Each structure stands twice: as C-alpha cells, then as structure tokens.
Amino acid sequence: MRVAIFVAVAACGGAGANVIVTESPPANESPSEPAPDHVMDHHHIDPAHASDPDKLYVEITSDGDHESVLLRSASAGLGTVPYAVPVAEGGDVELHVELASLAPASDAVACKVKIFVMRLPQHDLLAIADGAARATGPGQTDNCLSTIGKSIVTNKVPAVLQRQLAAKR
C-alpha cells in the first residue's frame, strides 16, 4: 500500500515550501540485499546499556552528501519513539541513513532515503526502511530530505525497534 502525505512547510518571509511524501511498504525485515560495504567498515563498542531493559539505545550514522540533514531528520524521527535513546556509541541498534537518490528539476526536487537498521555491535542487518518525497519552494532539497528521513523513522522503524527492545528484556 502506498500512502501520500502532503506537508506544507512555512519559511520565513511568507514564502512556503511544499513536500509530498510517498511512502513505500513497511520496513523490509527480510532484506535480500546486504548493507553497503562502507556501512560495515566501522566498528562499535559493546552495548553500554544492556542492563536497562526499558530503553533501546540507538546510534544514528550517515556519510556522504547531505550527511548533516540526514542525521538531523533521523534524530527528529527518533525523538517520537518514547523508549528510544540516541547515543554516540555503545548503542543496541544503529540506524544508518543514506541518500538513495536526488533528482533536482527546475521547480522541484525528488529524493529517496534508505535507512539500514542493524543490531550492534556485530552489524546484523535487521531491516531496511525507505521512502521518497518531492519538494518545491525555498530550500527544497533540505526540506525533501528532512521530511522523508523523519517520516521513515517515525512511521517504519518503530516496529523493528520494538522487537529489539523486547529481545533485550
């Protein structure tokens, strides 16, 4: 099932941006594709909060183009998950956020974001969640990426995180 969400983002000075999010199906918890090699290149310390069964500690990573907006958008989405706590290291789970595609046009930009959800520290790929959006107006690239990144984490990732929290207990 596809869902389209229309979001109007107001900017300073009265000019506005419009973002239309087209969500793909729920997170794929049986991905046939592996996580990209560069995601597996870094190492993690053992989870530092294993004794806290009521919270799931989540590292958020990204690299490449638009890294900062992708990190901010995933962090904003994670803020809507009451049992998830963002940490720099020692997490139970990692969300690696990637720009899958960016297609600017004269009056709009289309973007796709993919999030790899991995169990730490071993990098077991638990799920892949993705989504797409189209934005117009001022700051269209950042608006497109920030809206879809937050939407994916808010709407698709919690089910995977909830299962990980249950497994931690």
Residue 66 gets the label, from left (phi > 0), alpha (psi -120 to 50) or beta, of left
Residue 71: which pLDDT band, with cuts at 50, 70 and 90? very high
CATH number at residue 106: 3.30.160
pLDDT, position 28: 84
- Cβ-based neighbours of 82, under 8 Å, separated by 6 or more: none
pLDDT, position 65: 86
pLDDT, position 1: 35
pLDDT, position 33: 80
pLDDT, position 38: 67
Burial class of residue 113 in the structure, from the number of CB atoms within 10 Å of its CB (0-12 exposed, 13-18 middle, 19+ buried): buried
Give CA torsion, residues 83, 160, 112, 136, to 10 deg: -40
Report which DSSP code applies to 60: E
What pTM was estimated for this model as a whole? Answer: 0.84
pLDDT, position 134: 95
Q: Where do we find the tokens 């973007």?
A: 111
pLDDT, position 157: 96
Number of domains present in the structure of the chain: 1
Bridge pairing between strands 84-86 and 56-62: parallel
Report which DSSP code applies to 36: P
pLDDT, position 41: 64
Domain hosting 141: range is: 3-168
Question: What tens digit of pLDDT does each residue of 5-64 get?
Answer: 434 343 333 356 688 888 667 888 888 787 777 666 666 666 666 678 899 999 999 988
Question: What tens digit of pLDDT does each residue of 80-133 get?
Answer: 999 999 999 999 999 999 999 999 988 899 999 999 999 998 889 999 999 999
